[in-house]
Chain A
């Protein structure tokens, strides 16, 4: 009798272990990675306990954690600066990555917080290379559909977003043009100053 209970427990333990162990398998699929992150965001936004302006900072805090887990801000920053990256000193690089992340966070968090039951459909995953994928999704509002593509890169066994393409406009490409133009006539320090001001005025 006791033996049977023991075996049951053993089986239970194994089941738990099995579930824990199989987590990395999901990280192998870029589509499910981005979909689950977006669902986590939606859960926070739809949480009935967090209504009203008082809960806004709590929501922001929760979303920030998800955002950091989802985006590869280093890859994003490097790809926007391209050859300009080497013009920065390591300290300036660190500050740039930090400021740039804040700029993006501010604008897009505000936008996401305005969310009101739009439907989001993920419909296509294309592997571009062994370690790169593009996930296509559509945000459907009552008056229009907005295509949003996530470009992902596999690093250390985890799929992370390094570019977002909104209505056929790649964000990395868009910022790259801006930084190129600013740095063609200015110094990295001037760009950092612009970013500092941008973060402050928000």
Chain B
């Protein structure tokens, strides 16, 4: 008897807890709560009383069996609302700009004065990918097993350590610089010269610091300027193009090997990396309505976020952040 009583109490408690969020969301449900004890009140996810103009037929279509009983009652609760509710969904938008959205800073734009040139380069890179890079990367993928390809990727990434280290320092991110230095030491010794990445393993977990010169300049408040699509290299801007030079100066291979090896190195790096991400570019192109604009916007959103996260880590520029992000909005 006692046991049954406690089950009953628990039931009541859970029932109360269960319908509480529903009450908040639907605000009418609370008034209906006594009627719910017959076990029919809350249907599925509580879609049944529409507070903001969602239609009854819409709910019915989505939950045909369970919604039926509730629909009748819902209509009683909101007479006359159901008929025009479906139209309501497609009605004019009053909140046109969605200014309330908390991610308004993502609305970044970039000037594109040389759009015809950029579009031509975009077409060139697109064909380069589909006609040359993709078939070669596929063949390469068929011959070379995945762990080996990951090692090659790790190795190229490892080589560019000086760039990441210097930029961490320039960004006044000492933890980042320490982390990169640690990664370099560990991966050189235990990772067989950077072929493996033991630093990322559990226990050490030194995170990669993807820093570059364009990012550092962005952190200092330098804007993109305008959009450029480079042949072979893809989306960039005058600011971010600094890295083409930076990569040459700070890449150790460019000191120790004759210049023409760096010419051979880049295509191989491109093929290797492409073999590990086949399908990514295709997905972007296929999802896009205008691929050129989709990539341009993707690029600046990505870079903006990068600069933002790096700035938050910086010792000097952290407080400067709020001003810099507010300035363009006003």
Mark A residues whose CB is within 8 Å of B: 7, 10-11, 14-15, 17-18, 20-25, 27-28, 74, 78-79, 81-83, 85-86, 90, 93-94, 97, 103-104, 106-108, 110-111, 114, 128-129, 132, 142-144, 151, 154-158, 167-170, 173-179, 181-182, 191, 194-195, 198, 202
Contacts of A143 in B (CB 8 A): 146, 149-150, 153, 276-277
Contacts of B45 in A (CB 8 A): 23-24, 27, 157-158
Selected interface stretch from B234-242, B296-304, B322-330: B296-304
Chain A nearest Cβ from B306, distance in angstroms:
7
Contact status A174-B298, CB under 8 Å: yes
- Residues A168 and B301 in contact in the complex (CB < 8 Å), given A14-B8, A90-B90, A157-B25: yes
Judge whether B283 is part of the interface by a CB distance below 8 angstroms. Answer: yes
Contacts of A93 in B (CB 8 A): 90
Binary CB contact string for chain B from 105 to 131 against chain A (1 if under 8 A, 0 otherwise): 011010000000000000000000000
Binary CB contact string for chain B from 19 to 48 against chain A (1 if under 8 A, 0 otherwise): 111100110000000000001001011110
Task: Give the distance in Å from the alpha carbon of A111 to the alpha carbon of B301 in the complex.
Answer: 22
Contacts of A97 in B (CB 8 A): 90
Residue of B11, B276, B301 touching A170 (CB-CB under 8 A)? B301
Size band of the interface chain B makes with A: 35 or more
Judge whether B76 is part of the interface by a CB distance below 8 angstroms. Answer: no
Contact status B50-A90, CB under 8 Å: no
Contacts of A22 in B (CB 8 A): 14-15, 17-18
Residue of B54, B146, B305 touching A156 (CB-CB under 8 A)? B54
Task: Give the distance in Å from the alpha carbon of A129 to the alpha carbon of B100 in the complex.
Answer: 10
Residue of B3, B44, B98, B150 touching A79 (CB-CB under 8 A)? B98
Closest to A100 in B: B289
Closest to B48 in A: A156
Contacts of B287 in A (CB 8 A): 103-104, 107-108
Contacts of B50 in A (CB 8 A): 156
- Across the A-B interface, give the 6 residue pairs with the lowest CB-CB distance, nearest first: A28-B21, A157-B25, A168-B305, A22-B18, A157-B46, A83-B96
Binary CB contact string for chain B from 59 to 96 against chain A (1 if under 8 A, 0 otherwise): 00000000000000000000000000001011111001
Residue of A104, A128, A144, A168 touching B102 (CB-CB under 8 A)? A128
Task: Indicate the member of A7, A18, A157, A178 with the most B CB atoms within 10 Å.
Answer: A157
Judge whether B135 is part of the interface by a CB distance below 8 angstroms. Answer: no
Contact status A170-B22, CB under 8 Å: no
- Residues A174 and B96 in contact in the complex (CB < 8 Å), given A17-B15, A24-B18, A194-B289: no
Closest to A106 in B: B286
Contacts of B103 in A (CB 8 A): 151, 170, 173
Contacts of A79 in B (CB 8 A): 98, 101
Closest to A170 in B: B106
Contacts of A23 in B (CB 8 A): 18, 42, 44-45
- Some 12 contacts from A to B, beta carbons below 8 A apart, are A14-B11, A24-B21, A83-B93, A129-B102, A142-B150, A167-B302, A169-B302, A170-B106, A173-B103, A173-B107, A173-B297, A177-B109
Chain B nearest Cβ from A12, distance in angstroms:
9
Judge whether B201 is part of the interface by a CB distance below 8 angstroms. Answer: no
Contact status A174-B297, CB under 8 Å: yes
Task: Give the distance in Å from the alpha carbon of A21 to the alpha carbon of B42 in the complex.
Answer: 7
Q: Which of B262-293 contact A (CB under 8 A)?
A: 276-277, 279, 283, 286-290, 293
Contacts of A158 in B (CB 8 A): 45-47
Task: Give the distance in Å from the alpha carbon of A182 to the alpha carbon of B39 in the complex.
Answer: 51
Judge whether B294 is part of the interface by a CB distance below 8 angstroms. Answer: yes
Contact status A173-B11, CB under 8 Å: no
Task: Give the distance in Å from the alpha carbon of A53 to the alpha carbon of B206 in the complex.
Answer: 42
Judge whether B257 is part of the interface by a CB distance below 8 angstroms. Answer: no
- Residues A132 and B102 in contact in the complex (CB < 8 Å), given A14-B7, A21-B14, A195-B289: yes
Contact status B7-A25, CB under 8 Å: no
Contact status A82-B96, CB under 8 Å: yes
Residue of A86, A176, A178, A198 touching B92 (CB-CB under 8 A)? A86
Task: Indicate the member of A167, A174, A182 with the most B CB atoms within 10 Å.
Answer: A174
Contacts of B297 in A (CB 8 A): 169, 173-174, 177-178
Closest to B29 in A: A157
Contacts of B87 in A (CB 8 A): 90
